[in-house]
Structure 1
Amino acid sequence: MDPTKEDAIYNERFVRVICIGAGASGICLAYKLKRSFTNFSLTIYDRNPEIGGTWYENRYPGCACDVPSHNYTYSFDPKPDYSSVYAGSKEIRSYFEDFVSKHDLRQFIHTSHLVTRAVWVEEKGEWTVEAKSLVTGQTVKSVCDILIHATGYLNKPAWPRVSGLGDFRGVKLHSADYDDRVDLKDRNVLIIGGGSSAVQILPAIQPIVRRAKIIVPTPSWMLPDISTETSTFTPDQIKEFVKKPELLMALPVYMKNTALQNQAKALLESATREILKEYDMVDKLIPDFSVGCKRVIPSGFQFLRTLQEENVSVIHSAASSFTSSGCITEDGQHHEADVMICATGFDTSYIPRYPKPSIMGYMGVGISGFPNTFTLLGPYTPVSSGPTLVAVEAQSDYICSFIDRYQTEPVHSMTVRPSICKEFKENVAKVMEKLVWTDNCRNVHNNGRIGSRVPTTWPGSTLHYLEAIREPRWDDWDFQYRGNRFTWMGNGISQTEMVSTTDLAYYIRQQDNSPLLSRNARNLAMAKMGSQSARELHRQAKLSPAKTNKTTNEETINNPRLEATNRD
């Protein structure tokens, strides 16, 4: 009797995958699975009526990416025809919609489905998932071998933690769940917050509102205006981006007291003072923490100029309570408004919307105590030190390596060890002492509270993360098997022998093209060592203090190359 495919080594069993979230992470995973796997099913649930995640939900005035648009793509699917340096939310969502259509991923996605329950069934080694259709109200039950959380970290609006929020009788909006049907023309608007969203909202609404007040409890570092009228790319520029993708690369600044950090701080302070030289409280808009501790804001100089418009007022305080007609700040002042926009960020506790306790993360992808479960953009992902999407790709590759092992070995469950998560977090805390996210500021990675926890961003650069996650550390995980773990060996037949078009003598080669055997050699090969001219390490020659004369300063602050010294 002839051998069957099931007799071959590493025979693939059918694997069922459920992913929660159809944003940038979820659709990247779908692409990776469709590209490399055949014997699988994938179901993606998303509570929104359309894909896009963050870029579907964020619709506030002026909403745009705060990463240079050419860096906000998948590495294998560039978009050289982005219209501006910082693309608007609609253009970014269009990129993801086109990606889904191009790669036929819509077949996996179930929109308007809110996951309400997920239960691990140990005896069967599977997850039972319940999702409620927000269209019909019916609950759909499904089962999977692998459960993946791709809900992101910016998906739960954080309202101000002060009393009386429900007492306000005017229109109440949140930047993360904005109702774009509200007409702001000739209204008195109060914006609470001085972070990225508030900085985009104020210049967008200032020309149409009667009066705008903005409560800025703490300042942020601002970057030059390169997404205003000077930001639109010409056809020739777009062609140049296609020819020379290296023009889109950039460097991060994330370590305390380095030469690069000090250069960036001096330049941004100098430029801010130049813009606000007639503003009587300029010191209140100069942060006392490292550049990068709190999210650095692109095109912030436009915001600084808007603060000086006649119909704009700045309150350098914090909201302490709300009333039926407005807000009382900590300085005792009452501020009335018709419309209140809370640009107060997100809850980054990483607790899912369906009932689950707080989780202990592992390298952005693992969750202690949750078998056969992974996260995309989970705790300790490098969301502040480089392009987010390349990290998503690396995490998708990492997860797929576990799915591959599950599919080709008799694995019952895979769980990151609790002791490993504890050690990992301890090491992160030690390294974080040297990095900007533990400086004296409130940021999204410590859930908006100074000293409340170890920041949940990656303790290093994005390149550092890519090297750390490229090869799984299998011994950090606890693998349980069904029966004899060596049944993956099959009955002595190779996979090569089961495919009629393979070369049975493939191992005879004309040259040694085998994988490099040391991790360092593999990393340097991946990084194309020797392909670039030598550079001075940990320096950025283009950073220098802004000059005080008007012409030189304008040239400096409108130089998009400055962005290369910061986040992406």
Structure 2
Amino acid sequence: MATTNGLNGVNTSSPNAFKTFSLGSFSIDEDRPMKVVVIGAGFSGIAAGIRFPQRVKNLDLTIYEKNAGVGGTWYSNRYPGLACDLPSHTYQFSFEDKTDWSAFYAPGPEIRGYLEHVVDKYKLMRYIKLQHELTSARYDERTGKWHLKIRRPSGTSTTQDVHFEEFEDVADFVLAGTGALSRWSWPDIPGLTAYKETLVHSAQWEDVEELEGKAVGIIGVGSSAIQLVPALQPRAGKVFNFVRGKTWLATPFASEKLSELMKRDPKAANYEFTDEDKERFTDPKYYKEFRHELEAELNSVHFATIKDSDMQKGARKAFHEAMIERLEVKPWIADHLIPTFPVACRRLTPGPGYLEALCKDNVDFVADEIRRITPTGIETVNGRHFPLDILICATGYDTAFQTPFSVIGRNGLTLNERYTPHPETYLTMCTDGFPNWFQTLGPNSAVGSGSLLAIIEAEVEYAVAVVRKMQRERIRSVEVKREAVKDFDEYLEAYFPTTVYSEKCRSWYKMGQEEGRVVGLWPGSCLHAIRAMANPRWEDFDYKYLENTKNRFQWLGDGSTYAEKHMKGDRAFYLTEVDIPAVPE
């Protein structure tokens, strides 16, 4: 006689009573193949090239890089004076120390060399394809895969005549590591195209020879201009720095303990490491203490970004006094350069040597607004004309997070459309409508203080965790829920009014506007971001499975593990993966 057990009247005596799907023919830990594509071989792509193979088995990984070399922005940018505006020892991977940096703020070529070293050490060129540029990406709803169109030089190309060919690649998962500062922009100034002399952009630098005796104009007062002016001042006949905005220059970065460890002058703007310094850094104990203290110091100034905080007031006073002191020779510049807005409202830079260069006899600080660019120079609104042999536009990047390639998600929506009028994301890394598409250093990823590399590593680890979950649970697509994106957006809108970033100042944090939504920065400190990304909230995502089953346990497979099914591997792994607790004293 058939019986029921109260489970909606199911006949439990039937052998097929619970057979609503077919068991998989695989073991629970039999890793399915995963094709992952990473876009970009800068810091993010290099970190991904190391962590994905380390943590994901049965992986097919490709890293497409549009440039002819690795390094991302550190490959593209080559202007004189290029340097990191964070301490060198904080601008490296947590797992790959470099103990022989030449200076406290490392020059650009050294950073590029460090990245090339990491690529060689971890043998990443087996994954990286140089001069391969993504032109479009389209999500296939039926298969849960991304179809990518890649452009590369054809086999018939020569150094004088380059031809391109396009091919398609298909990926289960895409990590976009193109960064926020990768598309440079010309200034919107009348007459720019009419200029007949040498015209260059800082982000696309071409060697300018014979600077001696030349009149050089530099437009801008961002980090690039601040590095260019002191680099060119000793070489050029005359340097004109055209500045429409204002900016804070940070005081030298070093606590008393750091100065003691380094045996350096705490007031020194930059510091070139001696052979003795580098020798001390080879001592693992000393180096570990030094780097830990440096990063701790870097992560100690978050509350300077909070409105009206004591730390903000202290920073403002200290920066103001330091700038006045450094501009003693030309004190009138301070009236045009020192802001009324709070410290850190726009990107902060130490700018070693910049204010000192402005005080030199062959440098003119021009605060008058530019009316137009003429065939021979720049004309300001008061009628003055500055003849120039060389014009350098250090005018930054397109920071609206609009990609130069088309990314088409579900229902034909493009990522650029989704990011209009401003980007909306989930914890900066993904957005609804674009399954299996994650990004590093996307909208709201940067930090006003703290280690950018720590953020990159946290985002890469998050992406790795997503891929491992897809592989382990045989998931076809992972898509963040719309309501989760909206909730993060609500958090952003509530957080930034408490900070100095919402004050009136023109900044790339706000897509180049004086006021408006902050799209460049994480809503909190660097340490806050790392904690937030450490443990994914899987409940914030929707999932579709490979076999089109609705049963979330289909990934359990046939009831076996690979080791016992094939009699290979460790069949007592639980004894080799023991977490031994400490015994209380």
TM-score of the superposed pair, with normalisation by structure 1: 0.85
Alpha-carbon distance in structure 2 between the residues aligned to 1:16 and 1:343: 39
Aligned partner of 2:349 in structure 1 is 297
Alpha-carbon distance in structure 1 between the residues aligned to 2:226 and 2:167: 41
SS at match of 2:316: helix
Structure 1, 8-17 or 42-51: larger mean CA deviation = 8-17
Aligned partner of 2:434 in structure 1 is 370
2:248 is the alignment partner of 1:216? no
Contact 1:56-1:93 within 8 A present in 2 as well: yes
Alpha-carbon distance in structure 2 between the residues aligned to 1:353 and 1:493: 47
SS at match of 2:225: helix
Instruction: Look up the equivalent residue of 1:171 and give its one-letter code.
Output: T
2:561 is the alignment partner of 1:503? no
> How big is each residue's C-alpha offset from its partner over 1:32-84, in whole Å with a ceiling of 9 and x where there is no partner?
01211220111111111000001011101100000100000111111121111
SS at match of 2:355: helix
Question: Which of 20, 31, 45 is 1:26 aligned to?
Answer: 45
2:66 is the alignment partner of 1:47? yes
> How big is each residue's C-alpha offset from its partner over 1:497-540, in whole Å with a ceiling of 9 and x where there is no partner?
455334266399695479xxxxxxxxxxxxxxxxxxxxxxxxxx
SS at match of 1:366: coil
Instruction: Look up the equivalent residue of 2:129 and give its one-letter code.
Output: H
Structure 1, 442-451 or 105-114: larger mean CA deviation = 442-451
Percentage identity across aligned positions?
Answer: 33
SS at match of 1:130: strand
SS at match of 1:361: coil
Contact 1:185-1:208 within 8 A present in 2 as well: yes
Instruction: Look up the equivalent residue of 2:142 and give its one-letter code.
Output: E
Alpha-carbon distance in structure 2 between the residues aligned to 1:369 and 1:480: 14
Alpha-carbon distance in structure 2 between the residues aligned to 1:390 and 1:406: 25
> How big is each residue's C-alpha offset from its partner over 1:444-491, in whole Å with a ceiling of 9 and x where there is no partner?
111211124333210111000011111112222221223223211111
Q: CA deviation at 1:198?
A: 0.5
Question: Which of 160, 178, 187 is 1:160 aligned to?
Answer: 187
TM-score of the superposed pair, with normalisation by structure 2: 0.82
Alpha-carbon distance in structure 2 between the residues aligned to 1:510 and 1:66: 41
SS at match of 1:73: coil
2:454 is the alignment partner of 1:390? yes
2:379 is the alignment partner of 1:328? yes
Alpha-carbon distance in structure 2 between the residues aligned to 1:426 and 1:480: 27
Structure 1 gaps, min length 5: 515-568
Structure 1, 48-57 or 333-342: larger mean CA deviation = 333-342
Instruction: Look up the equivalent residue of 1:336 and give its one-letter code.
Output: P
Contact 1:5-1:11 within 8 A present in 2 as well: no
> How big is each residue's C-alpha offset from its partner over 1:397-456, in whole Å with a ceiling of 9 and x where there is no partner?
100111001112232211222332232122212100111211221111112111243332
Aligned partner of 1:562 in structure 2 is none
Contact 2:251-2:318 within 8 A present in 1 as well: no
Aligned partner of 1:455 in structure 2 is 519
Aligned partner of 1:399 in structure 2 is 463
Structure 2 gaps, min length 5: 1-22, 158-163, 254-266, 408-415
Q: CA deviation at 1:183?
A: 4.0
Instruction: Look up the equivalent residue of 1:424 and give its one-letter code.
Output: F
Alpha-carbon distance in structure 2 between the residues aligned to 1:510 and 1:107: 35
Aligned partner of 1:351 in structure 2 is 402
Q: CA deviation at 1:182?
A: 4.4
> How big is each residue's C-alpha offset from its partner over 1:194-231, in whole Å with a ceiling of 9 and x where there is no partner?
11111100011011111111111112111246798961
Contact 1:215-1:315 within 8 A present in 2 as well: yes
Structure 1, 381-390 or 398-407: larger mean CA deviation = 381-390
> How big is each residue's C-alpha offset from its partner over 1:249-298, in whole Å with a ceiling of 9 and x where there is no partner?
22233222111111111011011112223422422221111111111121
Question: Which of 138, 143, 146 is 2:165 aligned to?
Answer: 138
Q: Are the structure 2 counterparts of residues 72 and 230 from structure 1 closer, same or farther at C-alpha, using a change threshold of 3 Å?
A: closer
Q: Are the structure 2 counterparts of residues 496 and 386 from structure 1 closer, same or farther at C-alpha, using a change threshold of 3 Å?
A: farther
SS at match of 1:479: strand
Q: CA deviation at 1:372?
A: 0.7
Question: Which of 272, 283, 287 is 1:232 aligned to?
Answer: 272
Contact 1:153-1:378 within 8 A present in 2 as well: yes
Aligned partner of 2:411 in structure 1 is none
Instruction: Look up the equivalent residue of 1:248 and give its one-letter code.
Output: L
Q: Are the structure 2 counterparts of residues 509 and 365 from structure 1 closer, same or farther at C-alpha, using a change threshold of 3 Å?
A: closer
Alpha-carbon distance in structure 1 between the residues aligned to 2:579 and 2:183: 56
Q: CA deviation at 1:31?
A: 0.3
Alpha-carbon distance in structure 1 between the residues aligned to 2:37 and 2:569: 33
Matches within 5 A, 1:7-406: 7-134=26-153, 136=157, 137-224=164-251, 231-238=271-278, 239-240=280-281, 242-244=287-289, 245-249=291-295, 250=297, 251-252=300-301, 253-278=304-329, 279-300=331-352, 302-356=353-407, 357-358=416-417, 359=419, 360-406=424-470
Instruction: Look up the equivalent residue of 2:188 and give its one-letter code.
Output: R
Q: CA deviation at 1:328?
A: 3.0
Alpha-carbon distance in structure 2 between the residues aligned to 1:18 and 1:487: 26
Q: Are the structure 2 counterparts of residues 228 and 23 from structure 1 closer, same or farther at C-alpha, using a change threshold of 3 Å?
A: farther
Aligned partner of 1:487 in structure 2 is 554
Q: Are the structure 2 counterparts of residues 459 and 41 from structure 1 closer, same or farther at C-alpha, using a change threshold of 3 Å?
A: same
SS at match of 2:179: coil
SS at match of 1:128: strand
Q: Are the structure 2 counterparts of residues 161 and 420 from structure 1 closer, same or farther at C-alpha, using a change threshold of 3 Å?
A: farther
Contact 1:496-1:504 within 8 A present in 2 as well: no
SS at match of 2:273: coil
Aligned partner of 2:479 in structure 1 is 415
Q: CA deviation at 1:336?
A: 2.4
Alpha-carbon distance in structure 2 between the residues aligned to 1:284 and 1:117: 45
Which structure would you say has the larger Rg? 2
Q: Are the structure 2 counterparts of residues 200 and 496 from structure 1 closer, same or farther at C-alpha, using a change threshold of 3 Å?
A: same
Instruction: Look up the equivalent residue of 2:395 and give its one-letter code.
Output: T
Q: Are the structure 2 counterparts of residues 230 and 254 from structure 1 closer, same or farther at C-alpha, using a change threshold of 3 Å?
A: closer
Q: CA deviation at 1:496?
A: 6.1
**Aligned residues: CA RMSD:** 2.4
Q: Are the structure 2 counterparts of residues 232 and 504 from structure 1 closer, same or farther at C-alpha, using a change threshold of 3 Å?
A: closer
Q: CA deviation at 1:321?
A: 2.7
Structure 1, 176-185 or 101-110: larger mean CA deviation = 176-185
SS at match of 2:467: helix
Instruction: Look up the equivalent residue of 1:212 and give its one-letter code.
Output: V
Q: Are the structure 2 counterparts of residues 486 and 5 from structure 1 closer, same or farther at C-alpha, using a change threshold of 3 Å?
A: closer
SS at match of 2:138: strand
Alpha-carbon distance in structure 2 between the residues aligned to 1:394 and 1:265: 31
Alpha-carbon distance in structure 1 between the residues aligned to 2:524 and 2:189: 34
Contact 1:376-1:395 within 8 A present in 2 as well: yes
Instruction: Look up the equivalent residue of 1:486 and give its one-letter code.
Output: F
